[in-house]
Homo-oligomer: A and B are copies of this chain.
Amino acid sequence: MDRQIKCELHGDMIIAGSDAVSELYDRGFYGRKKDGVLELSLIEGAYLLYREKIQIFSNETTVDFKTFFEIASGRSEDFELRYIVFKDLRERGYYTKMNPIGFRVYPRGGHPGEVPAHIFIYVISERAQLPLKSLIHELNKAVNARKRLILAIVDEESDITFYEIKKIAMMGKSPIEPEEVEVPMVTGLVNDRTIVWDREMSDFLHSSYFFGRKLDESRLQLSLVESGYLLGKQWIRIEHKNVASLDADKFNEYAEGVEPGYMLKYQVYAHLRDNGLVAKTGFKFGTHFRVYKQFKSDTHSEYLVHAVMPDYIFALPELSRAVRIANSVKKRMVFGYADGGVEYVEIGWIRL
């Protein structure tokens, strides 16, 4: 066994003498050189203790792994989670440095001082709540530093799942032509859908733009968001009970009553359609929409899009489920949030 380097535990740091610089820093890129000594984080300390590379002293007595682990988990937030991720990355050939949300990670084969880190790892427990705002905040920091942002979620059995977070511009190739319909066509509102009664108009909406679903050969059913969108474009007018033509405000109010969250969903739907994408229900995938870049009869949708409020808070099992489904059907999972305009963030499962 190698000679073990003696270190001292000081608060949330471990201090090793100058002999450690050549042994641990130069050969393994552990710690941070400062005034001729080496400062190790608690996580690095635990790992080196497990590897039997160091001995840790506190008040002149050595500290064993169990005791050190218990002390460290009391002094450093999410210590056990970060230890699990650190160990995993290290043993798969990645050098890392600590940062406030987890780690900076260096490309495999590269090391600190030689190449820049290329990834920020955000370590989080499956049980934690993750506000969309925090995620966007960290994503902006990563983008500004030209890093990729990767979420490392540690589950209750200490398995790690990695998700990459990216901003994404949603643009498609099936734009709605303006003013193609001159006289709005009559539709009837029946509970949570509307029906286009005219055969020609049904065919046109369905085959040119993939709106709605045929009730039969001559009639088309539109969903609430489709109805709201076409009403806004003045392609349809909506009859309801004794009202010959609902205005947009009345329709929105009605739709929000039938489907709480309608307006949020509508904003994302309209933004997608306005940008040339074709959005259809994602019910079978448990999301608001499946989205096509271009609609042709033989295409599959490329995205699953879920509309969320800017103050949305992710429950991680739920996030995991959404990404898993998208992955299993070879689609990309995207969350759209309305914040002035509509912005999109893609969350994708990756092997790291």
Contacts and interface: CB of A to CB of B under 8 A. Distances in A.
A298 interface: no
Contacts of A329: 328
A195 B69 contact: yes
A352 interface: no
Contact of A192 (B125, B159, B284, B285): B125
A249 interface: no
A212 interface: yes
Contact of A127 (B157, B192, B284, B325): B192
A180 interface: no
B286 A193 contact: no
15 contacts: A66-B188, A69-B188, A69-B195, A73-B191, A80-B190, A84-B215, A127-B192, A156-B193, A157-B281, A159-B283, A283-B317, A283-B320, A286-B322, A321-B321, A328-B329
Contact of A157 (B125, B213, B325): B213
B325 A156 contact: no
Contacts of A193: 80, 156, 158
Interface residues of A, number: 54
A45 B259 CA distance: 29
B324 A286 contact: yes
Given A190-B80, A191-B73, A195-B69, A324 B157 contact: no
Q: Assembly of this chain: how many copies?
A: 2
A106 B120 CA distance: 59
A186 B325 CA distance: 40
Contacts of A159: 213, 281, 283-284
Given A126-B283, A328-B329, A157 B190 contact: no
A159 B221 CA distance: 11
A283 B125 CA distance: 11
A247 interface: no
Contacts of A325: 321, 324-325, 328
A153 B286 CA distance: 13
A294 to B, nearest CB: 19
A216 interface: yes
Chain A interface main SS type: mixed
Contacts of A192: 125, 127, 156
A19 B143 CA distance: 76
B80 A191 contact: yes
A54 to B, nearest CB: 16
Interface string A219-247: 10101110000000000000000000000
A320 B284 CA distance: 6
A329 B321 CA distance: 12
A273 to B, nearest CB: 15
A193 B325 CA distance: 28
Given A126-B283, A197-B66, A283-B159, A216 B87 contact: yes
A50 interface: yes
Interface in A118-149: 125-127
A332 interface: no
A203 interface: no
Interface in A64-96: 65-66, 69-70, 73, 80, 84, 87
A2 interface: no
